[in-house]
Amino acid sequence: MSIRGQNVYHKSFAFEDGFGGIIEAYNLSDENAPYPSNYTISLQRTDSSGFLLWGGADSGNIVIRNNADRGMPLLIDAKPDYSGGAYILYNYPPASLNEDSFCLYLQHINPNGIPDWPGNGILLVQKESAYEDYYGKLTPDSINGVFAMWGSGNARNRKLYVQKVRSDGTKIWGESGINVCNYPGQYSNYFITRDGTGGLLSIFMDGRNATYNSTFNTYSRYELYAQHVNSAGVKNWGSEGILAAAMTGDSTIIIGPSETQSKLILSDGEGGCYFVYQKLSGPYNSQSYIQRLTSEGFKPWGDYGIQPNKLADGQLLFIDRIHKKQDGGVAALFSNRDNLTDSGMNISLWIQYLNSNGVALYSYPKKACITYNSFQSTGVISDARFHIDGSASIFFIGDSTLNIPKYQKVLSDGTLLWDSVGKTVIRQKADRIQLIPGNNDKTLLRWCDARNYPVANDRNDMFLTQVDSNGELPAARATAISLSNGNWNAPSTWLNNIIPGPDDIVVISHTVNVTVNTTCYALSVEPGGNIVVATGINLTILH
């Protein structure tokens, strides 16, 4: 277990630490703590062996704690610095402003889990308005530091701003950042990614050619525009950006919620980017497209890009993740609505590969798994990792009743390693699946479940496990059982005279004294058992 007792409605982010482990940033509320210190932003780091580095599962390292002078700290985004630390973006308004004010801070967390910058970090923007945009996005700079983007203004006149901050906390692009487009009316859904040379690429929904409806606070349509800000802070694509996909006046174009942006945009390695958007094909139907923009703003895949699925029209199709291939182009995982019933929506997962010219590898996409019932799941229901050899590992919620995680591997030629139902990985109801690359081509599987809470509770725990490239879990762990009263580090205390180690599951039925710093994988204290930890000594339980 890596996080205990998180509220299912709070934001959380997990990403690689650069050394084969995971960093998790999350909001945590403690109903038993005295107000106002019961709401925090915490970070947890787990190394490649599963050892918790920053605090314990109850809280990790608390880096921001609510106080009487401010409102609740709301985590907005978090990204790695790839050196064992992280950047976090959060809203933390002073109590002197109204509760809907927008006060955006950026903070760097060092490899020890400690904030690097004084106070609350770097203040990016502060507005006292109930109409401010609570979205924001981060992407690490490939050279030094991080980019932050946010919206400012009401729904009619919102503009997007971007700031570049070095790892020492210095703002590079002025005190207030750069407005990526001089034309107002930019919507909150947007993507960002680095260009690989110290600059930033952004894709955003824009209502400049539409009519504004003041009753519903929305435009009649949105179009997709893009901007490229180079390392010197110059807007390469003019003061108002360029049309990124589709044609002017097309009212059927949207991009997904900004929370998914890390999966739906990526650098092409040549100063440009690939990104995903939706083209509506009916009241309840849409098709996903992948578009490519070069560093000069050209669209080599045409005005609309590529529709990689090539399935029957009139279905609901979403691209869930794209990944840059080693030889150029992208791999795409997308979901297809097979049918809709009273009990739920049946979804299947498909794979397609496009080369740098937009040519599909498969004449028809490869179906990776059979349907599952998406009405049974409240969070992320699938994720994929694409390997160097062209194969893909997919984890998904594969049972409409039990919600148990399953695994499928699709080889580079489209062959399924397992049959269409996949392989059961963990026999436990799960949700919010996420895959993070580990060491030696292994994958870190992160998921949440509510096994420790009543059915009506909105809490869950986050769990981690490591799987190899064929979906196999680590070898079975040894179980150490106490045989008599005694010290932990005395062989006579344990069955077969084997002192438990950090990878062992420990069962205590006697009084066991811990007199030296000790670690075990899991611990169970049975009736009649007791653990006595000496003063100044740490007993670390990993799960």
Overall average pLDDT of the 235-257 stretch: 87
Rg (CA), the chain: 25
Q: How far is CA 87 from the centre of its chain?
A: 13
Q: What is the DSSP string of 422-474?
A: -EE---S--EEEEEEE-STT-EEEEEEE-TTS-TT--EEEEEEEEE-TTSPPP
Other CB atoms within a 10 A radius of the CB of residue 487 amount to 16
DSSP annotation of 477: P
Q: What is the pLDDT of residue 66?
A: 85
For residue 100, the model assigns a pLDDT of 61
Quick check: 414 and 397 in contact, CB under 8 A?
Answer: no
* DSSP class of 99: T
Contact 80, 15 (CB under 8 A): yes
Contact call for residues 400 and 407 (beta carbons, < 8 A): no
pLDDT for residue 348 is more than 70: yes
pLDDT of residue 117: 96
- In this structure, which amino acid lies at residue 288? S
d(CA 56, CA 4): 9
pLDDT at 315: 56
| Exposure string over 438-469, b if 16+ CB within 10 A, otherwise e | beeebbbbbbbbbeeeeeeeebbbbbbbbbeb
Cβ neighbors of 337 (< 8 A, separation 6 or more) are 315, 316, 317, 345, 346, 347
Q: Which helix (H) or strand (E) holds 384?
A: strand 382-386
Please tell me the total number of residues recorded for the chain in this structure: 543
Q: Are 354 and 330 in contact (CB under 8 A)?
A: yes
Task: Find out whether 425 and 406 touch, Cβ atoms under 8 Å.
Answer: yes
* Tally of helices (H runs) and strands (E runs) in the chain: 1, 42
Tens-place pLDDT, residues 157-189: 788 899 999 999 999 999 999 999 877 777 768
What is the Cα–Cα distance from 407 to 309, expressed in whole angstroms?
A: 22
Looking at residues 341-350, what average pLDDT do you find?
Answer: 67
- Gap between the Cα atoms of 118 and 135, Å rounded: 24
The verdict on whether omega for the bond into residue 36 sits within 30 degrees of 0, i.e. cis, is yes
Domain ranges within the chain, ordered by starting residue = 1-125, 131-264, 479-541
Q: Strand 3-7 relative to strand 459-467: parallel, antiparallel, unpaired?
A: antiparallel
| Predicted local confidence at residue 377, as pLDDT | 46
CA dist 450 and 455 (Å) reads 8
Q: Would the CA dihedral through 247, 248, 251, 255 be positive or negative?
A: positive
- How far is residue 446's CA from residue 2's CA, in Å, rounded to a whole number? 9
Span of 81-85, 317-321, 508-512 with lowest mean pLDDT: 317-321
Provide the 3-class DSSP secondary structure of residue 120. Answer: coil
Give the pairing of strands 486-487 and 511-514. parallel
Positive or negative, the Cα torsion across 182, 187, 188, 192? negative
Contacts of 498 (CB under 8 A, 6+ apart): 478, 480, 491
Tell me, what's the pLDDT at 376?
46
Contacts (Cβ under 8 Å, ≥6 apart) of 313? 281, 287
Q: What mean pLDDT, rounded, does the chain reach?
A: 84
Q: Are 68 and 62 in contact (CB under 8 A)?
A: no
Q: Looking at residue 235, what is its pLDDT?
A: 95
Q: How confident is the model at residue 532 (pLDDT cuts 50, 70, 90)?
A: very high
Residue 341 has pLDDT above 70, yes or no: no
| pLDDT band with cut points at 50, 70 and 90 for residue 311 | low
- Mean pLDDT for 289-295 is 94
pLDDT tens-digit profile of 374-385?
A: 444 445 678 888
- Asked if 292 contacts 301 with a C-beta cutoff of 8 angstroms, the reply is yes
**Least-confidence region, from 130-139, 147-156, 199-208, 233-242:** 130-139
What pLDDT sits at residue 373? 56
Kind of pairing, strands 511-514 and 530-533? parallel
CA distance 485 to 524: 16
**pLDDT of 286:** 75
Can you name the residues that pair with 465 across neighbouring β-strands? Answer: 445
Which tokens is 539 given?
A: 């007993």
Between 350 and 543, the more confident residue is: 350
Top pLDDT among 99 and 362 is at: 362
Q: Which one has a higher pLDDT value, 168 or 504?
A: 168
pLDDT in tens, 25-35: 999 887 767 67
Per DSSP bridges, beta strands 12-16 and 136-140 are unpaired
Tell which residue, 221, 151, 137, has the closest CA to residue 186. 151
At 130 the pLDDT is 46
Cα torsion through 21, 27, 31, 33, rounded to 10: 80
Q: What is the pLDDT of residues 27-74, one digit of tens each?
A: 988 776 767 678 899 999 999 888 889 988 887 899 998 887 787 899
Position 216 pLDDT exceeds 80:
no
- Look at strands 505-508 and 479-481 and give their pairing: parallel
Q: pTM value? A: 0.84
